[in-house]
Structure 1
Amino acid sequence: YTFNSIFEHLRQVNNFSEIGANQLKTQKLFYLSIKAIFSPIWGFVYGYIVKFGFLDGWYGLIIAIISSTETFLKYTKAIVKLKALKVANCDVIHISSMKTWRGGEQQVANLVLGQIKRGLLVYMFIKKGSSLMSFCIANEIPFSIIKFNNGFNIYSAFKIKKLSKRLQAKVIHMHCSPSHTLSIFSKLLGNPAKLVLSRRVIFPVRSNVLSYKKFNYSGISKIICVSESTKKVMAQTVEAVEKLNIIYDGIDINKFRQVYAPHLKRSLGIEGKKVIGNISAVVAEKDYFTFVDTAEIVLNKIPDVHFLIIGSGAEYEPIKKYISIKKLGANITMLGFRKDIPELLSIIDVFLMTSTMEGLGSTILDAFASKVPVVATNVGGIPEIVLHESTGLLSSPKDFESLSDNVIRLLNDKL
């Protein structure tokens, strides 16, 4: 059997029924009531008789009863949640199709928790199995699962419209391209909520008719740009520039206060060494090749330092291979995706960001909160938070010689 005890099985039943209830609570009350009565009965018959569960004796009976109980709990919890939704108006519905956890998802989480703290009623539409789904479950935030299909899913758009009307939602906040498309479809289907779009990347809008129509849709009330640089890029496409507003990313500075994790240096075998690190997805625009080139120059001048690459992504293996080609494997450690960011920042002496484009570079804010000096490239929104010679040191993108000089300068200042 897959469980070590009945109690372990029951805990799993409670968790799974909660997830199932969140996916069902947008259904009609009559449908849920019928399913709550008959589905558990059929589940027991199917598991115990049709699937020959009775051949397993006492254990087969217990499993059949527990499985049917899970089905009953799933529908009854959905009924309770649906009734709660009917009496509660919603201030904001957030929609995001992202499955993994990167800076954008952290910002969505910060925003949602901040709104809840201010007393707003918040709801989310997310992808099944996503990191945001785990976030919602952990923080008891109501959510529904929808299929995004790059935004071209009329059923999901109808579902958004239906729940928005039921909750009398005031605002739909779109956090990605598929949610942008779906929300416009829901608006065309009669969704009365106002639409607000967040734009955190600095990539130009695609030069096709569909993208142009999406960003100039009259039903969008505001477009929130993460930096002045992002706003300038958006202004090249959006005709109603008065809709463009700048709201910089925020962080919870309390997470970074009084954090001290010397055990991390011990576990990495880098005790007594100065540490230079970056925390970001390992993707093309982060330009970790320049990070490695910068590290090579620094190590030639100050051998007793170590570099950390914290993050994962499409360029992970190419960067790992590049480090091997440079014979820097003993000096550069790739840690992959980590959740203990405050602890890792507490052992970093210089934060080095070598991006070729950034909407803002919000992990720099984490470094600031951890009192870690920053060396970065002067691209996108970075110069709006890293003021050269004031709050950090800036270099041109791909200029690993200038970047290494700035890193060495800060290391010498701290020695």
Structure 2
Amino acid sequence: MNRKKIVHIISNFKIGGAQKLLLDLINNSNKSLFDVSVISLYNKTNNSLANEFEKADCPIYYLNKKSGFDINIELQLVNLLRKIRPDVVHTHMAGLKYSIIPLLFCKVKLKCNTEHTIIKENYTNIEAWVKKFAYKYFNVKPVGISNCVSESIKKVYKVSDIKTIYNGINVEKYTHDGERIIDEKNIKLINVATFLPDKNHEFLIESIKILAEKINNFKLYLIGDGKLRNEIQKKIDYYDLGQHVILLGFRNDVNELLVKSDMFLMTSKHEGFGLVLVEAMAAGLPIVATEIGGIPEVVINNQNGLLVSCDKPRLFADAIEKLINEKSKYKTISSNNLLRAKKFDIQNTILEYEKLYLEVE
């Protein structure tokens, strides 16, 4: 049996959910069935995730895209696709926007695109028009990373043939041994998110300010970086929360930090899935999160954590306090999360994508 040739096209190897999914797909692909290649539209990125791509056992092509429209990208993609002659082209992020024209000149049996975020109804830029054409008239199959994302694809692009495949993680990497017990003298809260408006760090700091008025023996560790980091640091300083909130920046040891923590907090205003929620679950962490987007598909309220509106910081602070004080509820949720995380193991995700690829005759 000839191996099916799979080509993934993605914008870049910056740190993000789409890139993590792609790395897992290529590292865990069935080599006896699939011959995988990856095309990055932009040049090499200097970070730990990009280094992992370099170690992957598959060809990687960098097209060094310039900002704005770059005709050379189209020409390079045509030449590469004609050279590789893939059975499947799987696009991520801006991959579809830039590959739609080259795909018109290359015979590909299956074309699919993973949508990693909820599509907004006022989404009217060039990428939206490209995707609408691709899904309705060019047989590109959309894949949503949650039911919420899939529903947004259906609503905005007016298509019905959508496949939902949940993102996944290597659950064993985050496993916590033994029963979780909070050290009430040193409570460790953790948040992992890029400092961007959608991640709602300002709301998180407002909640922590309220929590600090009632509880003193805790620390919140913020993992990540981004354009709003300095602004959030100023807010921490303004509220005199330096003894409670610690910014650790980008870290390569997130799995270890999760295992050492007591509770995970997510305050996003928009979230298609929230892969880090599954990472927290696999570490046995109870979760307090905002009830938006795909989050309720991952975190079932009162079973895997507590869900709160994204504009009510006092209720968010109350939810944290509730899990700290109610020891039996904390332990039950921790145990539930160790079990639920297995639903989102990366092997399940890979199996679903490979089923999709094997639809090619």
1:281 lines up with 2:200 in the alignment: no
Matched, 1:236 2:155: yes
* Equivalent position of 2:88 in the other structure: 171
Corresponding residue for 1:128?
Answer: 43
The whole-number CA distance in structure 2 between the counterparts of 1:209 and 1:180 is: 12
3-state secondary structure, aligned to 2:307: strand
Kept in 1: contact 2:6–2:89 (CA 8 A): yes
1:250 counterpart residue number: 168
1:257 maps to a residue whose letter is: T
CA contact (8 A) 1:276 1:348 kept: yes
> CA offset at residue 280 of structure 1?
1.2
TM-score when normalising by structure 1:
0.71
CA spacing shift, 1:405–1:133, aligned 2, 3 Å:
closer
Determine which of 85, 105, 109 is the counterpart of 1:189: 105
Residues 141-163 of structure 1 deviation map (CA, whole Å, 9 limit, x = unaligned) = 31111033468333322322323
Say whether 1:91 aligns with 2:35. no
Q: Name the SS of the counterpart of 2:155 in structure 1.
A: coil
Supply the RMSD in Å over aligned alpha carbons.
2.4
Provide structure 2 residue ranges, at least 5 long, that are not aligned to the other structure. Answer: 331-361
Question: How has the CA–CA distance of structure 1 residues 220 and 327 changed in structure 2, closer, same or farther, with 3 Å as cutoff?
Answer: farther
| Aligned-partner SS, 2:271 | coil
Percent of pairs identical after alignment?
Answer: 25
Number of the residue aligned with 2:74? 157
Whether the 8 Å contact between 1:290 and 1:400 is mirrored in structure 2 is yes
Correspondent of 1:367 among 280, 291, 294: 280
Partner of 1:201: 117
Deviations 1:22-62 (A, max 9, x none): xxxxxxxxxxxxxxxxxxxxxxxxxxxxxxxxxxxxxxxxx
Q: Aligned pairs, how many?
A: 317
| C-alpha distance 396-271 of structure 1, shift in aligned 2 (>3 A) | closer
The residue aligned with 2:266 is 353
Indicate the SS of the match to 2:80.
Answer: helix
1:97 offset after TM fit, Å?
1.4
In structure 2, the partner of 1:85 is none
2:348 is matched with: none
Aligned residue number for residue 263 of structure 1: none
Larger radius of gyration: 1
Distance 1:294 1:325 in 2: 14
Q: Work out whether residues 4 and 35 of structure 2, in 8 Å CA contact, stay in contact via their aligned partners in 1.
A: yes
Structure with the larger helix share: 1
Alpha-carbon distance in structure 1 between the residues aligned to 2:84 and 2:236: 53
Shift of 1:209: 6.1
Structure 1 position 344 matched with structure 2 position 262: no
Counterpart CA distance in 2 for 1:282 and 1:140 is 32
Is 158-167 or 146-155 further displaced after alignment? Answer: 146-155
Kept in 2, the 8 Å contact 1:151–1:181? The answer is no
Separation (CA, whole Å) in 2 of partners of 1:209 and 1:289: 32
Rate the CA distance shift 1:220–1:337 in 2: closer, same or farther, 3 A.
farther
SS at match of 1:409: helix
1:297 aligns with 2:210: yes
Matching residue's letter, 1:255:
K
1:317 is matched with 230
